[in-house]
Structure 1
Amino acid sequence: MMDAFERFGLLINDRVVRTPVAIASMAGIVDAGYVLERANHIGIAFIGGYSIDGPTMEAAREIASSGERKEFVYDDPVIELKNQIDQMAKSDVILGINLRGSSPESFGGIARALGDSVVYEVDAHCRQPAMVAAGSGEFYLKHPEKLIAVVRALKSESVTVSVKIRAGVADDDRKIVGELWKAGADILHVDLMDFGTAKLRQIRNTCPLMLIANNSITTFDRMKDMLSHGADLVSLARQSDIRTLAGLDAAISRYADEEGWYNAPKQLCRGGDIRSLTFCCMPVKECPLIPALSRINMPKETYIKMKLEAVRGTQLDDGKQTCFGSLSWCCKISSPCMFRDMTLKHAGISKKEYMRLKRDLSNTLMSRVFHDNTPDEAS
Structure 2
Amino acid sequence: MMDAFERFGLLINDRIARTPIAIASMAGIVDSTYVLERSEFAGLAFIGGYSIDEPTMAAAKEIAAGGDRKEFLFDNPAEELRHQITLVEGNPLILGINLRGVTPGAFASLAETLGDGVVYEIDAHCRQPAMVAAGCGEYYLKHQQKLTATIRALKAKGVTVSVKIRAGVADDDRVLARNIWSAGADILHIDLMDFGSAKLRQIRNSCPLLIIANNSINTFDRMREMLSHGADMVSLARKSDERTLSGLDAAISRYADEDGWYNSPKQLCRGGDVRALTFCCMPVKECPLIPTLSRLGIPREDYIDIKLGSVKGTPLEGGKKTCFGSLAWCCKTSSPCMFRDMTLKQTKISRKEYMRLKRDLSDTIMGRVFHDVPPDESS
TM-score bucket of the superposed structures, by smaller chain:
over 0.9
Unaligned runs of 5+ in 2: none
Q: What do residues 232-252 of structure 1 show as CA deviations (whole Å, max 9, x unaligned)?
A: 000000111110000000000
Residue pairs, 1:249-260, within 5 angstroms: 249-260=249-260
Partner of 1:367: 367
Residue pairs, 1:61-100, within 5 angstroms: 61-100=61-100
Q: What do residues 165-197 of structure 1 show as CA deviations (whole Å, max 9, x unaligned)?
A: 000001111111101101100000000000000
Kept in 2, the 8 Å contact 1:296–1:374? The answer is no
Distance in 2 between residues matched to 1:121 and 1:253, nearest whole Å: 26
Q: Specify the SS of the correspondent of 1:195.
A: coil
Partner of 1:52: 52
Relative to structure 1, is the Cα distance of residues 269 and 361 closer, same or farther in structure 2, using a 3 angstrom cutoff?
same
Partner of 1:274: 274
Relative to structure 1, is the Cα distance of residues 74 and 374 closer, same or farther in structure 2, using a 3 angstrom cutoff?
closer
Relative to structure 1, is the Cα distance of residues 373 and 239 closer, same or farther in structure 2, using a 3 angstrom cutoff?
closer
How many residue pairs were aligned?
A: 375
Relative to structure 1, is the Cα distance of residues 372 and 323 closer, same or farther in structure 2, using a 3 angstrom cutoff?
farther
Q: Specify the SS of the correspondent of 2:98.
A: strand
Kept in 2, the 8 Å contact 1:298–1:373? The answer is no
Distance in 2 between residues matched to 1:61 and 1:273, nearest whole Å: 43
Q: CA deviation at 1:373?
A: 8.9
Kept in 1, the 8 Å contact 2:182–2:374? The answer is no
1:154 counterpart letter in structure 2: L
- RMSD (Å), alpha carbons: 1.0
Distance in 1 between residues matched to 2:194 and 2:343, nearest whole Å: 43
Distance in 1 between residues matched to 2:216 and 2:59, nearest whole Å: 27
Partner of 1:154: 154
Partner of 1:215: 215
Relative to structure 1, is the Cα distance of residues 38 and 77 closer, same or farther in structure 2, using a 3 angstrom cutoff?
same
Distance in 2 between residues matched to 1:373 and 1:85, nearest whole Å: 33
Q: What do residues 295-338 of structure 1 show as CA deviations (whole Å, max 9, x unaligned)?
A: 10111001000111111111101111111111000000011111
Q: CA deviation at 1:372?
A: 5.1
Distance in 2 between residues matched to 1:170 and 1:68, nearest whole Å: 27
Unaligned runs of 5+ in 1: none
TM-score, length-scaled by structure 2: 0.98
1:355 counterpart letter in structure 2: M
Distance in 2 between residues matched to 1:185 and 1:247, nearest whole Å: 31
Kept in 2, the 8 Å contact 1:142–1:170? The answer is yes
Q: CA deviation at 1:66?
A: 1.7
Partner of 1:305: 305
Kept in 2, the 8 Å contact 1:318–1:326? The answer is yes
TM-score, length-scaled by structure 1: 0.98
Kept in 2, the 8 Å contact 1:166–1:193? The answer is yes
Relative to structure 1, is the Cα distance of residues 343 and 95 closer, same or farther in structure 2, using a 3 angstrom cutoff?
same
Distance in 1 between residues matched to 2:316 and 2:233, nearest whole Å: 27
Distance in 2 between residues matched to 1:153 and 1:360, nearest whole Å: 33
Partner of 2:111: 111
Q: What do residues 249-291 of structure 1 show as CA deviations (whole Å, max 9, x unaligned)?
A: 0000000000000000000000000000000000011111000
Residue pairs, 1:1-379, within 5 angstroms: 1-371=1-371
Distance in 1 between residues matched to 2:166 and 2:50, nearest whole Å: 18
Q: What do residues 113-162 of structure 1 show as CA deviations (whole Å, max 9, x unaligned)?
A: 00000000000000001111111100000101100000000000010000
Distance in 2 between residues matched to 1:121 and 1:22, nearest whole Å: 13
Kept in 2, the 8 Å contact 1:296–1:373? The answer is no
Distance in 1 between residues matched to 2:134 and 2:287, nearest whole Å: 50
Distance in 1 between residues matched to 2:222 and 2:334, nearest whole Å: 19
Q: CA deviation at 1:2?
A: 0.5
Kept in 1, the 8 Å contact 2:181–2:373? The answer is no
